[in-house]
Amino acid sequence: MSHHKTEIIVFVVLFLIVSGMGFMAARWRRPGSMHSLDEWGLGGRSFGSWITWFLLGGDLYTAYTFVAVPALVFGAGAAGFYAVPYTIVVYPLVFLVLIRLWSVSHVHGFVTPADFVRARFGSPLLALLVAVTGIVATMPYIALQLVGIQATIEAMGVKGHLPIVIAFVILAAYTYQSGLRAPALIAFVKDALIYLVIIVAVLYIPHKLGGWSHIFGQAQAKFDKTPAPGDGTLLNANNQLNYAMLALGSAMALFLYPHSITSVLASKNRNVIKRNMAALPAYSFVLGLIALLGFMAIAAGVKPLTVNGKPDGNTVVPLLFDKLFPDWFAGVAYAAIGSGALVPAAIMSIAAANLFTRNIYREYFRRDATDREEATVSKLVSLIVKLGAVGFILLLDPQFSIDLQLIGGVIILQTLPSVALGLVTRWFHRGGLIAGWAAGMAAGIWMLYRIPNPATKKLHFGGSAYPLNDIGLDTKMTVYVGVIALAVNLVVAVVVSVVLKAAKTADGVDLTRTDDYFADEGDQRVVRGTREVEEGLTT
């Protein structure tokens, strides 16, 4: 460990500075009281364009992205670049939908997507399904931030789980105290570190390795030696369809995750969202550069560390930095990954806690809960969520957590008809949406169960690419499970809605109005930091 001392010192110093900012955030833009979900969980719904830019960037581009995307490129090649087109497609795809969600949420004081579904379709059961789906899909996502930190710590020669536990105890403490303001403030430093490290990496590392032609040549040589269906520096007939479907499905899923919606609802007006949807693709450029680190690791001859007897691909980027950067700058790079875990983990835990508090605790246990009580419950649940994430790493194989995240993407897509389509139409019957959710979930889990992974010798839940030969087709092509499951969901939702409408089955009451979806800052109906809608001021 002696040759890692400089790296460890730099990493620890920067990590402590970032953590200190998390505690200081409690006094940053501090309101009269933090005892409400509007303040603790949404930062007062007052973030401007720059803060929202960094908050969303810190929320969507995580430590796991920093290590997992290059690791996928390292192992499979071009297929790993699916993350680039999906983060480009997503912003125009959700541009109009998110501003409608912002408006209706600020008029009615909604804190979670399930709050909106409850009011839009008049169905506590549908809202409960959306809330539980969001929590289940978010939990492994939080755990995967730990995977990024763990890979970094292992690259520095530090063994054991104690450093991870300490890091998340600190995270839990300042999130409990500062709420969403903590990741919002930390995101400035996190993004600055990531931009710095990536710019240096794409200029310095290729120079050290003999140029880009050598890097791509070495990558192609590796895949030629160990050919596998779909692997290579270019896509082929076997994986092109799955690549396109995975990119599209991931784009549709990204802003269904509760933590993404939390960051959007924290912005102060519709124009903030519009500007960010137009500017955030700049992060996609950085993501493309991050993905290239996988090819650089191949050219550098990096060998993944062995964890629990198996190679851990998530360690390739930290090992690349350790091998080619000076020790002090490797420490800076590790700090970028570490801080890249703190921001999204904080937002995710807050979002999951808000879902539990608003749509489970308050709906089924304490309908008369006060603002203070809601905030207290969310703070406590956010601690439990983080504890659960640590449990994933301590008790389970990290590879299993990655598999759970793949399942999470398929799961969260099943809320699209209720949340995303619900923002533009009230045509669906609540019974149809519930039936569609159940059918899509069953189809998705069934297909995931049928997918093996020969590389890891897993018979089930080995990935999200479903082989078409499993249903008797003579082809090696695969398709993304999430999109197929969503298609099943939509078909069932439409058919059941038609049947229920024809039978004149009672539907829920829509508590929203058309003009609610166009309200903006300055409108007297817009809620900021209070629960006016419950006090009758907007009814």
267 backbone dihedrals φ, ψ, rounded to 5°: -75, 155
Provide the sign of the torsion angle of the four alpha carbons 61, 63, 65, 67, taken in this order: positive
The pLDDT, as a whole number, for residue 452 is 78
Inter-axis angle of helices 430-449 and 481-502, to 10 degrees?
Answer: 150
Residue with tokens 């030629």: 224
Angle among Cα 127, 128, 131 to the nearest 5 degrees reads 85
- 3-state DSSP assignment of residue 47: strand
48 backbone dihedrals φ, ψ, rounded to 5°: -85, -170
Angle among Cα 68, 73, 79 to the nearest 5 degrees reads 110
DSSP per-residue codes, 504-530: T---------GGGGG--TT-TT--SSS
Summarised one tens digit per residue, pLDDT across range 53-93 is 988 887 777 777 788 888 888 988 888 888 889 888 899 88
User: Alpha-carbon distance 409 to 246, whole Å?
Assistant: 10
Inter-axis angle of helices 270-279 and 83-108, to 10 degrees?
Answer: 180
Provide the sign of the torsion angle of the four alpha carbons 366, 372, 378, 384, taken in this order: negative
Give how far the C-alpha of residue 328 lies from the chain's centroid of Cα atoms, to the nearest Å: 30
Closest CA to 526 of 107, 100, 44: 107
Angle among Cα 343, 349, 353 to the nearest 5 degrees reads 150
Whether residue 360 contacts residue 111, with contact meaning beta carbons closer than 8 Å, is answered with no
Average pLDDT, the chain: 86
User: Alpha-carbon distance 327 to 7, whole Å?
Assistant: 5
Domain ranges of the chain: 2-22+43-521
Angle among Cα 68, 73, 74 to the nearest 5 degrees reads 90
Which one-letter amino acid corresponds to residue 89?
Answer: V
Whether residue 341 contacts residue 146, with contact meaning beta carbons closer than 8 Å, is answered with yes
Question: 195: Cβ–Cβ under 8 A, 6 or more apart, which residues?
Answer: 286
Question: 505: Cβ–Cβ under 8 A, 6 or more apart, which residues?
Answer: 429, 431
Closest CA to 365 of 176, 383, 373, 431: 373
Outline where 160-315 has alpha helix (H).
Answer: 162-178, 181-209, 212-225, 240-254, 258-265, 270-279, 281-299
End-to-end Cα, the chain, rounded Å? 65
CATH architecture, range 2-22+43-521: Up-down Bundle (1.20)
Whether residue 336 contacts residue 194, with contact meaning beta carbons closer than 8 Å, is answered with yes
471: which 2 tokens?
Answer: 């249903």
The pLDDT, as a whole number, for residue 281 is 86
User: Alpha-carbon distance 387 to 319, whole Å?
Assistant: 28
Q: Half-sphere exposure of 218 toward its Cβ, with a 13 Å CA cutoff?
A: 19
Residues of the chain with pLDDT under 70: 1-3, 31-32, 227-230, 308, 393, 395-405, 453-457, 527-539
User: Alpha-carbon distance 327 to 333, whole Å?
Assistant: 10
